[in-house]
Chain A
Amino acid sequence: MSETSAQEFLRKAAVKSADLVHRDIIRQGIESYDAAHLRGRLRFRDWDAARQKCREIKQEAINHLDKYLLQFEEKVRARGGHVFWAANAQEACQYVTDIARRLGVRTVVKSKSMVTEEIHLSPALEKLDIKVWETDLGEFIVQLRNEPPYHIVTPAMHLNRAQIADLFHEKLGERIPGNDPTKLVALARRRLRQSFFSAEMGISGANFIVADSGVIAISTNEGNGRLCTSVPRIHVVVTGIEKVLPRLEDLAVFWPVLATSGTGQAITTYSTLIGGPRQAGEADGPDEFHVVLVDNGRSRLLADAEQREVLHCIRCGACLNTCPVYRSVGGHTYGTTYQGPIGSVLTPHLAGLRQYQHLSYASSLCGACTSVCPVKIDLHHHLLHNRRNAVNSRGSKLGERMMFRLWRSTMLHPRIFVFLSSAGRRLLRLLYRMGLAGSIVDPMRAWNRYRSPVPLPAESFRSRWRKGLAG
């Protein structure tokens, strides 16, 4: 029988959390992010007011989504751009591959876009024998490794410079002495530069789509997004319908908030606005401009008033960085496009509750994610909502129901409680004495397998209470 997603998660989590090299790389990466993020927050007079403002703006945008999307579409069309609405991944891929086929595209340069990962656009283009280059350095690295992104903001966070130097040596045929990051970047720059200037099509995502101006906003540091959208003669934007902001001026708070939460910067190096193909009198720019608005489950999430705010997410990655589970098991363990707390909340809606309900349990419910979210999504409560919805939709297992019934009557009847807890203590003491802690017969196996057993108290809390603990 093939492994379920939940079994795969547990297997990979066990391997990754015991991988000390991996843990060290992640610890260093996240420690440096934490320091930058804290410094970045100090640049705001009132960080919490900024989060509240972002929340209010996104709430307004999502609650008038139809109006703002239509406004955006009208403005893009006025500049000669095309807007295509895709109900699902297949429609979105079909539209892009049709353009590529119609215009004889042989090479595509892509800037980072999680929505294109979600809809598996690159494999769809590669089926047509089109060469697709990921041009964000982190994405380029994971593409060479034939891996999905490890993190929604820093896709190659799980690799150190030595591993990247080995990869470049193997795949690009050049050895960088001393694994110098500057030289590694220069090598990638040289290789990708050829593709920027030979590609017929550039594909980007959008961090925001702005309704009142009919522009998309892209934030990049490397400038690869700038080249992808400037040099090739076709530019295709693939983005989710929820990325709308009502007004251009909203970016005055969203740009700094996204940069601070994403990397700790005051603002991303290139905060770009694009609203169409090259206009009359402009020196350069693509001849064709297409925006693909992807639904793919988002309108279903919108209909769930309790969880609608999940659509406020700006994909900054802050909840991943702070999550103790993500830090231990790493991004690939999730087996999803979006990892970490937001991924665990979102994926069951986009890809099916039945297959991904286990992700709601990949959390200690500590609430760290909620406390850092720049648009104040109540992430850990949404994990609880997903747990409840999963139980309601599939019903619970017989064993689970029986256990809860037993637990309920135990908690309601003090005598049964006393009897069972005393019997339990005796049984455990006996097992531990026999050296069976953590073995298959140990009821505490899940804990004791990897740890020394918690010492058992000599007497119960009840009896200590009776003896005067209260005084």
Chain B
Amino acid sequence: MPVENPSRELILERIRAGLRTPVAPHPGPRSDAVIFEPIRNPLERFQQESTANLMECTLTSDPAGAALQLGKILDSLPAGEIFLQDDPSLRRLIELTKTQRPLRWSSEGAPREASEATVSLAEALIAQTGSVLVTAECGGRGASIVAPCHIVYAHAAQLVPDLETALGNLFRSGKLVRNSFACVISGSSRTADIEKILVQGAHGPRRLVVILQTGR
């Protein structure tokens, strides 16, 4: 339902009128300097940074190894439903774990509030900050925030060195035109609002696990 918005033109007119007075250029040097250290070994850096972010990162060489890891993590969780991004690779993986837990797929809707864990893929892994990039395609918005444990199944080929590369790829791929949501996730949910003391598991997952497959 379109709403009348007379202030739109008013504000734009005020902005244009204001900008007619130019600002003097800033005396500081123009910055072409290198801001961040270049990243030589993305895998090593990702492992370091994700550990610093209090994530768990386990390396495996193939899907069977990944299924073994996933099975172990699921065994460590209390009984309850698991929410999964509906993707053929995750359907194969969960089958390999032979889990008996109730499953809910993203094609059936949002994760239920009482989900014990969510399993999704990622768009990319970012070495610079030890982060996981997800979009709405990775099981929706709730897939990475609703349950107390979020498990990401990713491949080493998805590693990019830095934020600039990840954001550049995201823009150029047109994913943001199709998706209403994307998020760079750098660790488990946390807060330091009480006396600056770090507490994990504020409103989102207490655990963020990346199962990182290095071989095919």
User: Footprint of B on A, CB under 8 Å?
Assistant: 25, 28-29, 32-33, 43-46, 49-50, 52-53, 55-56, 59, 63-66, 69-70, 78-79, 82, 84-87, 91, 95, 98, 135-138, 141, 154-156, 159-161, 164, 181-182, 184-186, 189, 192-193, 196-197, 212-215, 221-224, 226-227, 229-231, 241, 247-249, 251-253, 255-256, 263, 266-279, 282-285, 289, 293, 295, 299-300, 302-305, 308-309, 376
B7 and A252 within 8 A (CB): no
Give me the 3 closest cross-chain CB pairs, A-B, nearest first.
Answer: A223-B204, A283-B140, A303-B18
Q: A32 to B19: give the CA distance in the assembly, Å.
A: 41
Question: Which among A46, A197, A270, A289 has the greatest number of chain B C-beta atoms within 10 A?
Answer: A270
A87 and B18 within 8 A (CB): no
Which chain B residues lie closer than 8 Å to A214 at the CB level?
176
Q: What is the distance, in angstroms, from B186's C-beta to the closest C-beta of chain A?
A: 5
B181 and A181 within 8 A (CB): no
A283 and B204 within 8 A (CB): no
| B171-194 near A? 1/0 per residue, CB < 8 Å | 100001111111111111111111
Which chain B residues lie closer than 8 Å to A213 at the CB level?
171, 176
Q: Given the interface contacts A212-B171, A249-B171, does A181 sit within 8 Å of B110 by beta carbon?
A: no
B129 and A266 within 8 A (CB): yes
Does B75 reach chain A (CB closer than 8 Å)? no
A251 and B171 within 8 A (CB): no
Q: Given the interface contacts A82-B3, A215-B176, A249-B168, does A255 sit within 8 Å of B184 by beta carbon?
A: yes
Out of A45, A159, A184, A305, which one reaches B35, CB within 8 Å? Answer: A45
Q: A79 to B176: give the CA distance in the assembly, Å.
A: 10
Chain B, Cβ-Cβ closest to A52: B31
B163 and A252 within 8 A (CB): yes
A85 and B167 within 8 A (CB): no
Q: Given the interface contacts A273-B181, A284-B110, A284-B142, does A46 sit within 8 Å of B186 by beta carbon?
A: no
Q: Given the interface contacts A248-B171, A255-B184, A273-B182, does A181 sit within 8 Å of B5 by beta carbon?
A: no
Q: A277 to B166: give the CA distance in the assembly, Å.
A: 23
Out of B30, B167, B181, B192, which one reaches A248, CB within 8 Å? Answer: B167
Q: What is the distance, in angstroms, from A169's C-beta to the closest C-beta of chain B?
A: 15
Does B78 reach chain A (CB closer than 8 Å)? no
- Quick check: which of B20-28, B59-67, B92-100 contacts chain A, the rest being far away? B20-28
B145 and A84 within 8 A (CB): no
Q: Given the interface contacts A55-B26, A224-B203, does A136 sit within 8 Å of B106 by beta carbon?
A: no
A227 and B204 within 8 A (CB): yes
Question: Which among B21, B109, B145, B177 has the greatest number of chain A C-beta atoms within 10 A?
Answer: B145
Does B196 reach chain A (CB closer than 8 Å)? yes
B15 and A299 within 8 A (CB): yes
Which chain B residues lie closer than 8 Å to A87 at the CB level?
7, 10-11
A276 and B186 within 8 A (CB): no
A222 and B191 within 8 A (CB): yes
Q: Given the interface contacts A283-B107, A284-B109, does A226 sit within 8 Å of B199 by beta carbon?
A: no
Chain A, Cβ-Cβ closest to B188: A269
Q: A135 to B35: give the CA distance in the assembly, Å.
A: 35
Q: A161 to B194: give the CA distance in the assembly, Å.
A: 6
Which chain B residues lie closer than 8 Å to A230 at the CB level?
140-142, 145-146, 181
Does B202 reach chain A (CB closer than 8 Å)? yes
Out of B15, B23, B144, which one reaches A65, CB within 8 Å? Answer: B15
Q: What are 15 A-to-B residue pairs whose CB atoms are below 8 Å?
A: A29-B195, A45-B34, A79-B180, A85-B8, A181-B199, A222-B204, A223-B204, A227-B203, A249-B164, A252-B162, A256-B36, A269-B188, A269-B189, A279-B179, A308-B18
Chain B, Cβ-Cβ closest to A81: B180
Q: What is the distance, in angstroms, from A43's C-beta to the closest C-beta of chain B?
A: 8
Q: Give 11 A-B pairs besides A227-B203, A231-B142, A271-B131 with Cβ atoms closer than 8 angstroms.
A: A32-B196, A50-B35, A52-B33, A59-B26, A84-B3, A95-B3, A137-B193, A223-B205, A230-B141, A256-B163, A303-B18
Does B14 reach chain A (CB closer than 8 Å)? yes
B5 and A84 within 8 A (CB): yes
Chain A, Cβ-Cβ closest to B131: A267
Which chain A residues lie closer than 8 Å to B90 at the CB level?
none
Q: Given the interface contacts A79-B180, A289-B180, A295-B14, does A251 sit within 8 Å of B34 by beta carbon?
A: no
Q: Given the interface contacts A224-B202, A230-B145, does A282 sit within 8 Å of B179 by beta carbon?
A: yes
A185 and B199 within 8 A (CB): yes
Out of B129, B143, B162, which one reaches A283, CB within 8 Å? Answer: B143
Contacting A at CB under 8 A, from B138-167, are: 139-146, 162-164, 166-167
Which chain B residues lie closer than 8 Å to A227 at the CB level?
145-146, 203-204
Q: What is the distance, in angstroms, from B114's C-beta to the closest C-beta of chain A?
A: 10
Q: What is the distance, in angstroms, from A316's C-beta to the closest C-beta of chain B?
A: 15
A56 and B31 within 8 A (CB): yes
Out of B29, B30, B184, B194, which one reaches A267, CB within 8 Å? Answer: B184
Chain A, Cβ-Cβ closest to B204: A223
Does B57 reach chain A (CB closer than 8 Å)? no
Q: A217 to B175: give the CA distance in the assembly, Å.
A: 16
Which chain A residues lie closer than 8 Å to B184 at the CB level?
255, 267, 270-272
